[in-house]
Structure 1
Amino acid sequence: MRSERRGGMSRQAPVAPPLGSGRFLFILIIVGLACVTLMGRITLLQVIDRPFLQSQGDARTLRHEAIPAHRGMITDRNGEPLAISTPVVTLWANPQELPTDGIQLFMLAQALGMTPDDFAARIERYSGREFMYLRRQMTPEAAQRILDLRTPGVYPQREYKRYYPAGEVAAQLLGVTNVDDVGQEGLELSYQPYLAGHPGQRRVIKDRRGRLVRELGIMRDAQPGGDLALSIDQRIQYMAYRELRAAVAKNEADGGVLVMMDARTGEVLAMANLPSYNPNNRTGLDPRGLRNQALVDVFEPGSVMKPLAMAAILESGIVDRNAIVDTSPGWMRLDQFTIRDFRNYGELDLPGILEHSSNVGMSRLALRLSDTAIWEKYNQLGLGQAPGTGFPGEANGSLPAPVRWSRSERATLSYGYGLSVTAVQLAGAYTALANNGVRLPPSLLRLSEPPQGVQAIDPTVANDLLHILETSVGAYTGGRRAQVEGYRVGGKTGTVRKIGQQGYTTDAYRSVFAGIAPISDPRIVTVVMIDHPKAGEFYGGAVAAPVFSSVTGNALRLLDVPPDLEVDDE
């Protein structure tokens, strides 16, 4: 420190304050404000905005995933699976997350079985979206091989796929589901709400790539669909389809139908249709194969209706059971139409009229009845009415009301022309002959007890006709090829001209046979229809009756029905 002396006196210089003190105070103020701001922000985030931020965080990591419901199984009457659901994996991608690296995309396209150009075009098409399917319904093993590539933006989705062990054998009856496992045809469609079940839901945490981090719990359990037990016996169904296919091939026919019903319950034991298709592989599918002809297609039945018309004749009381009808000269004129027999059979009793399938004999008997007698009997037998099976699109058939009928119309109705039926309707009508006159409604589902039937035919008349039907397949009749070794059977053949653009054709037929077995204690009713056989033979006794014989014989043995006919007697 320096001092100065002036005028004999000395003075000391003043001390300056430290240069950093104001700056330090300023910094303290800034730090304090920062701490206050930080504390306020923390308070805002942790207290005020916490619920909002928590929800936003959960929205980016917490997911609600659907748990697919297992579709119910369809089985035959013995519990054998006819339609089951198997687990599969669907791969999807977020196009905005897919890598731009050409090598990765090339490897992914190759694994998916696509060309790189096609795959690139697909990505471009979905570039503005966040979802696109890569491959639907893959086996878990095949899907895992693609997931092992660890391509960003590729994710799995668990699903179920329908599988049909019987393949084409019962395709039209069961129907199919689409790629989303929703019923589209047949019983899969009819019972869609029952079979589908209800999906569940779970909460999970996933990372930003969609990978599962943790499962938080089940919010709602998946409810599997109900199982459906059909009346079909898979063993008989296989045999029916095999024999029908062989007959269609042998006779070069356009197709065929076979329906077998339990005569005691009305349950359908077999329902085969041709053409058919494989529901497990629908490539090159023929649309005709989708139709369940037994339930949705109608045809004029022809002479197989004669036993049912004969029931009305016998019940009328107008015609004696021992009546003799003169069918000479083998033809008759009615309303400018000519009704013909195969040949002149002369005088015939009632069994002889059915045995020889005389159109003239049936017409002369029918004309003795009231105008509505045969129509009323057909109506009681369920013709012209929906069978009530619940199958989608089942046909009502056609039974024209008896309004101003001509004599020729009354006559043709007695031998199976002028009306149309389905194979199931025809089989249902024949259950009345086999069941003491009680007609049973057809059922596609297994029944726990026999249904309430309708008394459509007098029991005595039904029993008489049952034995007349047995004589119609005797050794020297047109229906002899329907015979079954060891069993008494009965039935009626039918050969029906198809309708073309100019009316009835002369070169296109349907061959039909309807039969019952065994006669001593009826167990099954079978209807066979072969559409347009072109190999030469076309009569029902030559084309359809052998199919009845083979399928019915095997079915009776499978069902452990005891034989009622000695082979030597036959």
Structure 2
Amino acid sequence: MKLRTVQAQYPVRRWLVLSFFLCGMAVLASRAVYLQLLNNDFLKEHGDARSIRVVDIPSHRGVIVDRNGEQLAMSTPVDSIWVTPKKVFEDVERFPELAAALGMTVKDLHETLRARMNRDFIYLKRHATPDLVKKVQALEIRGVSTQREYKRYYPAAEVASHIIGFTNVDDQGQEGLELAYDDWLSGKNGKKRVLKDRLNRIVQNIESIEPSEPGKELRLSIDRRVQYLAYRELAAAVKYHRAKSGSLVMLDVRTGEVMAMVGQPSYNPNNRETLKGSFYRNRAVTDVFEPGSTMKPFTVAAGLDSGLYSPHTAIETSPGFYKVGDHTIRDMRNYGNINVSTVITKSSNVGASKIALSLEPEKFWDVLSRVGFGQSTGSAFPGESSGSLSPYNAWSDVEMATMSFGYGLSVTPLQLVHAYSVLANGGVMLPISFLKVEGSVSGKRVLPEKVTRQVRKMMETVVSDQGTGKRAAIRGYRVLGKTGTVYKYIRGGYSDDRYLSVFAGIAPASQPRYAMVILIDEPRGDHHYGGVVAAPVFSRVMEGAFRILNVPPDDLPAITSPIMANHHKPDQIQGFD
């Protein structure tokens, strides 16, 4: 009874309150219709502003290939895991899950993020494996994101590592040709506008702002097949002779192209975590050594160039040693009265010394300088050494004599093979090239063609049965070369039991195509002579290279009887069981 009385007393108030509620609801509904249907651009713009970002489009580094297009270095897409520390700390209770996925302790993860709280971006794992990326993404932790990058991969691994080099984690060249041609190989990142979700994942590509530009292809001069052959044989020789290290360089004498360049010990550029820095060094380009008797062809060339000598000029080497001041120069034995050609064949130190001392120092120095000693080859390989050749006006008779058989100056294996290419190319020096050469190459004449032809003929006797380099012989081919066995210089003087075994050769002799230098450092086996340790490596590598490169033989045995065609009828020809 009372309730009805109260309701009857305030009908206006009741309808007024109800009207206010209905009006409020109508206003809200109309506003919602207006914003969501009639004018939704404003909300969309502000919503997108909080989720649309401009991101980089990563570009990949240019591929490196051999002269035949076989890949030696390529870039593969990978993901890196990064975080925004402040956002990650909003889900601090999930740290154990994230730490377990990354293989870290919770303490290490916490300290890593806490120390970088003011940063908006830090990497937790660069170039992560696909499985790890999936595992971290599945956690869906706020502030944890992935970024697409590229990682360098080297299919030839340690076979070509010293010449190719490698890149760092940011894909920038650090060693070898990767460093030398970094600008050429590097790409240019692009930009695009994307839509991201709350976990910073890209859910939609909106537009491309600037396209990415990949790096350019780099086509090298080396042949991967020959490179592998050279690597295998050099590694086997270094291991067999228990040597400290080794280097091998092979040049195409007609173009100046490096066909193969290997060193020992080598390294795998795909896995460098536990390697020593000294393994990265390309010894064929950076390390210098005294060339020993491999210098004698140039001493003889200087003598021939002076006009004082011919291949048949007699030189007295008795009694097997030669006094120059307080220094005694010795041969392996007393060769007696020999000619200039035999100085090369028997590798006579006495004969080479007498030739050098009969020349004006300036003339001798000039020949050595012209063929490239004491100066860089101009290959542009990072860290290349120029060796040393002292000024001639400071030479004593002893220095001039010892220089004639390869002591008192220093060269790199690349310099030495470059000098030998001059002999092979008729006295014309071509620039060294690590890139494939297209078309003809112009060079500079540094020695008379006649002189180099005479020296080559002498060097061919070295690889005969009477010479010191007979183990460099290749069946079916004429080979010329020079052996070298060098006492190694250590602190305090020359060692009595540490040697460098060297062989420098050219083949085929009739029409020279390739020059090669092999250096074996400190062989500790039963042998240490260059003709025994290094010459067989030349034979095996050059013989295999001739098969690979289809170089025809130039020393086939003569046919003494005519070959008659088979005149049998087809039905008369019998097969073999």
TM-score by length of 1: 0.89
2:256 equivalent to 1:256: no
Given the alignment, which residue of 318, 332, 347 partners 1:342? 332
Measured against aligned partners, the alpha-carbon deviations of 1:192-225 in whole angstroms (never above 9, x if no partner) come to 1110111000011223432324322111100000
Report the aligned-residue RMSD: 2.7
Given the alignment, which residue of 214, 218, 230 partners 2:208? 218
Q: Which residue of 1 aligns with 2:351?
A: 361
User: Which letter does structure 1 place at the counterpart of 2:299?
Assistant: A
Given the alignment, which residue of 473, 478, 482 partners 2:472? 482
Given the alignment, which residue of 496, 499, 512 partners 2:502? 512
Deviation at 1:269, TM superposition (A): 0.3
CA contact (8 A) 1:335 1:406 kept: no
Q: Which residue of 1 aligns with 2:105?
A: 115
CA contact (8 A) 1:168 1:278 kept: yes
Q: Which residue of 1 aligns with 2:567?
A: none
- More divergent stretch after superposition (317-326 vs 555-564): 317-326
CA contact (8 A) 2:61 2:75 kept: yes
User: Which letter does structure 2 place at the counterpart of 1:338?
Assistant: T
TM-score by length of 2: 0.87
Given the alignment, which residue of 51, 66, 69 partners 1:76? 66
Q: Which residue of 1 aligns with 2:380?
A: 390
Measured against aligned partners, the alpha-carbon deviations of 1:105-138 in whole angstroms (never above 9, x if no partner) come to 3222222222333333333333443322221102
Given the alignment, which residue of 545, 548, 566 partners 1:555? 545
Deviation at 1:101, TM superposition (A): 5.7
List runs of 5+ in structure 1 lacking aligned partners.
Answer: 1-19
CA contact (8 A) 1:485 1:567 kept: no
Change (3 A) 1:552 1:450: same
Measured against aligned partners, the alpha-carbon deviations of 1:468-503 in whole angstroms (never above 9, x if no partner) come to 111111113221111111111010000111111111
CA contact (8 A) 1:190 1:391 kept: yes
Separation (CA, whole Å) in 2 of partners of 1:340 and 1:57: 91
* Percent identical residues: 48
- Counterparts of residues 168-567 of structure 1 (less than 5 Å): 168-566=158-556
Separation (CA, whole Å) in 1 of partners of 2:502 and 2:45: 72
Measured against aligned partners, the alpha-carbon deviations of 1:266-309 in whole angstroms (never above 9, x if no partner) come to 10000001111111001220222110111111111011011112
Number of aligned positions between the proteins: 535
Q: Which residue of 1 aligns with 2:571?
A: none
Task: Please give the secondary structure, in 1, of the residue aligned with 2:133.
Answer: helix
Task: Please give the secondary structure, in 1, of the residue aligned with 2:88.
Answer: coil
User: Which letter does structure 1 place at the counterpart of 2:280?
Assistant: L
Separation (CA, whole Å) in 2 of partners of 1:475 and 1:213: 76
CA contact (8 A) 1:68 1:158 kept: yes
Separation (CA, whole Å) in 1 of partners of 2:298 and 2:47: 77
Separation (CA, whole Å) in 2 of partners of 1:319 and 1:362: 12
Separation (CA, whole Å) in 2 of partners of 1:309 and 1:449: 34
Q: Which residue of 1 aligns with 2:9?
A: none
Deviation at 1:405, TM superposition (A): 1.8
Separation (CA, whole Å) in 1 of partners of 2:195 and 2:236: 59
Separation (CA, whole Å) in 2 of partners of 1:160 and 1:470: 51
Deviation at 1:72, TM superposition (A): 0.1
Separation (CA, whole Å) in 1 of partners of 2:284 and 2:352: 27
Change (3 A) 1:102 1:60: closer
Deviation at 1:391, TM superposition (A): 0.9
Separation (CA, whole Å) in 1 of partners of 2:553 and 2:374: 36
User: Which letter does structure 2 place at the counterpart of 1:280?
Assistant: N
Measured against aligned partners, the alpha-carbon deviations of 1:312-361 in whole angstroms (never above 9, x if no partner) come to 11111112332111101111111211111111111111111111100100
Separation (CA, whole Å) in 2 of partners of 1:290 and 1:98: 40
CA contact (8 A) 1:60 1:208 kept: no
CA contact (8 A) 2:312 2:341 kept: no
User: Which letter does structure 2 place at the counterpart of 1:140?
Assistant: P
Given the alignment, which residue of 63, 77, 81 partners 1:91? 81
Separation (CA, whole Å) in 2 of partners of 1:239 and 1:103: 57
Measured against aligned partners, the alpha-carbon deviations of 1:27-47 in whole angstroms (never above 9, x if no partner) come to 99xx9xxx9xxx9xx9xxxx9
CA contact (8 A) 1:137 1:159 kept: yes
Deviation at 1:56, TM superposition (A): 7.2
Separation (CA, whole Å) in 2 of partners of 1:399 and 1:90: 51
List runs of 5+ in structure 2 lacking aligned partners.
Answer: 1-11, 560-577
